[in-house]
Amino acid sequence: MSNSDQFPVEIEQPHHKGNGSGNIFSRVFDELTAFCRSRSMFILHYCTGCGAIELPPAMTSRFDMERLGVSPMVSPRQADILLITGYVSVKTLKRVLLTYEQMGSPKYVIGICSCTVNGGMYWQSYATAKKLNDYMPVDLYIAGCMPRPEAVITGLRELMEKIRKGEANGWQDYYRRYDYYLGHQQRLFGETWQTPTNVVGEARHYGLLGDETQGVHTELLKRHQKPLEALEMRLSPADKAEMEL
């Protein structure tokens, strides 16, 4: 279930745990927060494929995820976990990335179904992103076509355990190795790809600038990046013409 056995993906471990290794009070506080994080997980399910059908039984009376503290949320700002339930087409992946970058850290990604692991039955498709962890850090894969609700619950419990121990640090990996992920994104979407989020700036804010945060791909991004502008408030051209008459 964990991705480290099957794929040579190096998720960098934090150099120091928490921010107050010396102070006993801050360590207690860190542990309390980690415990609460593990017991309260708001999921945003991005139901891209058939795996979505396994979530209703996992949520409702048969398996009841709420007893683990897992509850569904509807907006990326409120959520902790991005649940991707199936194949991700190239077009969908853009939306998934936009959603992921808007979520508040610490955030976790779960890939459900074989399609997120290696493309699954869409291996030969020209329009499907094969390995999800090329484009964003995935904390946990739940393999299967499709995994049964028991497997989904087991996976969530495993993630809970990882969060409690402070090992689910995929979100930090996205900042530390942004250049790597951006490279894969550019390979798929073309070199003009950009998102509204300033990931390098955020990495600097959290103190998570790594050796691979900036590189050739972020240079390419800088060259093509257009500054974001607020949408202009105006009537449609037809209305404007009517008003001028």
For residues 124 and 82, give the distance between their C-alpha atoms in angstroms, rounded to a whole number: 26
CB-based burial label for 41 (10 Å; 0-12, 13-18, 19+): buried
- Binding piece for other proteins, criterion CB under 8 A, among 97-105, 133-141, 142-150, 213-221: 97-105
Site for other proteins contains 53 (CB under 8 A): no
Contact pick of 69, 151, 210, 220 for other proteins (by CB under 8 A): 69
**Within 147-176, which residues bind other proteins (CB under 8 A)?**
none
Map the footprint of other proteins across residues 20-39, applying CB under 8 A.
32-33, 36-37, 39
- Contact between 181 and 137 under an 8 Å Cβ cutoff? The reply is yes
Nearest CA to 138 among 95, 189, 181, 185?
Answer: 181
Judged by CB under 8 A, how many residues of this single chain contact other proteins?
A: 23
Q: Is there binding between residue 241 and other proteins (CB under 8 A)? A: no
Q: Which of 2, 13, 23, 105 binds other proteins (CB under 8 A)?
A: 105
Longest dimension (CA), the chain: 74
13 binds other proteins (CB under 8 A): no
In whole angstroms, how close is the CB of 195 to other proteins at the nearest point?
A: 15
Task: Kindly state whether residue 75 participates in binding other proteins, applying the rule CB under 8 A.
Answer: yes
Q: If residue 35 lies in a helix (H) or strand (E), which one and from where to where?
A: helix 24-39
Dist. CA 12–CA 24, nearest whole Å: 26
Q: What is the C-alpha to C-alpha distance for residues 122 and 218, in angstroms, rounded to an integer?
A: 30
CB of 185 to other proteins, least distance (A): 21
Q: Which is nearer to other proteins, 34 or 132 (CB)?
A: 34
Give 104's contacts (C-beta < 8 A, 6+ positions apart). Answer: 77, 80
| Interface with other proteins (CB under 8 A) | 32-33, 36-37, 39-40, 60-61, 64, 66-67, 69, 73-75, 77-78, 80, 103-106, 206
